[in-house]
Amino acid sequence: MAIEAERRYDLALFGATGFTGGLTARYLAANGPAGLRWALVGRNRRKLEAVRAGLEGILGNGVPAPNLLEADAADAAALGRVAQAAKVVATTVGPYAHYGEPLVAACSAAGSDYVDLTGEPEFVDRMWLGYHERARQSGARLVHCCGFDSIPHDLGAYLTVGRLPEGVPLEVNGYVRVGGQFSGGTYHSAINAFARGRQTMAVARQRRQVEQRPAGRRVRSAPARLNRAPELGGWTAPFPTIDGPIVRRSAAALDRYGPDFSYGHNIVAKHLYALAGGAAGAGAAALLAPFPPARKLMLRFKSPGEGPSEEVRAGSWFKVTFVGQGGGERVVTEVSGGDPGYDETAKMLAHSALCLAFDELPETSGQVTTAQAMGDALLARLQAAGIGFRVVDPGGV
């Protein structure tokens, strides 16, 4: 990224007074590089000071205490000053459809890199429509979905494709298994997304109408199927999260995915009734969320700023298996880690920001995916940080 003047900060973290933001701050304090120039950003200085005080005992070797910057999510002028001061701005302040746009606008204008934890398709598409071209002009890299949505899936598919032949049609399917709790922010984002189903479809349609497709190549969804898969531990069904579209956008941007690439994103459950129950629950939420009284009631179940205890998080895990085929060859890979909703998500966001700030990366700008913007560099960082990316013996799962 071309930066006209030296920035005061390598990294600014917006939302450190929240649960996941606080975990991200603690991870950076303990694992950041020596001499890291960083700042915590929020609207309440007293709370920011409390977060900084809590970091004193865990600061890693050579990592200084962060500076504090005051800014509200709706204060465009203050966010502009933050963006102009930092190479990279990372934000955990969601739901992003409600609070995220002013910061995206500020980073796009300032030529600053931006990373977030959103899993909201409408927000991602709306930001592409509104700020992709402006970011391309300024040199900013806007990288959404830098947590469990969607790094394990995007980089897992990227790893799988890299082990398959070049220049041939490729098919990759991802299978997600999770043992843990979704964050309060993810829950609120999901309910609000259900409430805005029509708007989400309209914005997606608008993006499809104007976004260029890769010349001479095809990228598509794999056929959606309900399958019994004993080798994966149960039953699989299509998993309609943002992760599938993110993988396919990486495929559209990178020629390495071949002339004809398909990706299917699936959830794995031990029993068929678990899949049926999950589908019924999601369907009920989709029906009720558009009605304000029902939506208000559902949102009360979980606060966006709260999370489980350290003991509960320690027992949580995720595993995503990828099966790739093409050119007469087959490869199976696996991405695995600990608590997906909080600890590993904070780690992924922190390393995404550090990767953009310090690593040698491909020349990109505008709204880009993690695989497109950071690829091998972020993969290496996360492997070194303890997240498993491995190739399983071909032919086995």
Give the confidence band of 46 by pLDDT, cuts at 50, 70, 90: very high
Q: Which residues contact 136 (CB under 8 A, 6 or more apart)?
A: 365, 366
Every domain of the chain and the residues it spans: 9-147+345-378, 151-340
CATH architecture, domain defined by 151-340: 2-Layer Sandwich (3.30)
Average pLDDT over residues 17-40: 97
The yes-or-no verdict on residue 1 having pLDDT over 50 is: no
By C-alpha distance, which of 215, 226, 249, 397 is closest to 320?
Answer: 397
CA 196/CA 61 separation, integer angstroms? 46
Structure tokens at 122: 């409408």
The yes-or-no verdict on residue 186 having pLDDT over 90 is: no
Query: How much is the pLDDT for 107?
Result: 98
Q: Which residues contact 285 (CB under 8 A, 6 or more apart)?
A: 190, 191, 194, 298
CATH code for 9-147+345-378?
3.40.50.720
Using CA atoms, how far residue 192 sits from 46, 123, 185, in Å, is 30, 11, 11
Average pLDDT over residues 97-118: 97
The yes-or-no verdict on residue 153 having pLDDT over 90 is: yes
Give the confidence band of 2 by pLDDT, cuts at 50, 70, 90: very low
The mean predicted confidence, pLDDT, of the chain is 92
pLDDT digits (tens, 9 = 90+) for 262-313: 999 999 998 888 888 877 877 787 787 788 888 888 787 777 667 778 888 8
Give the confidence band of 185 by pLDDT, cuts at 50, 70, 90: low
Query: How much is the pLDDT for 25?
Result: 98
Query: How much is the pLDDT for 4?
Result: 45
Do residues 185 and 225 touch, judged by C-beta distance below 8 A?
Answer: no
Query: How much is the pLDDT for 317?
Result: 94
The share of the chain scoring above pLDDT 70, in percent, equals: 95
Query: How much is the pLDDT for 183?
Result: 65
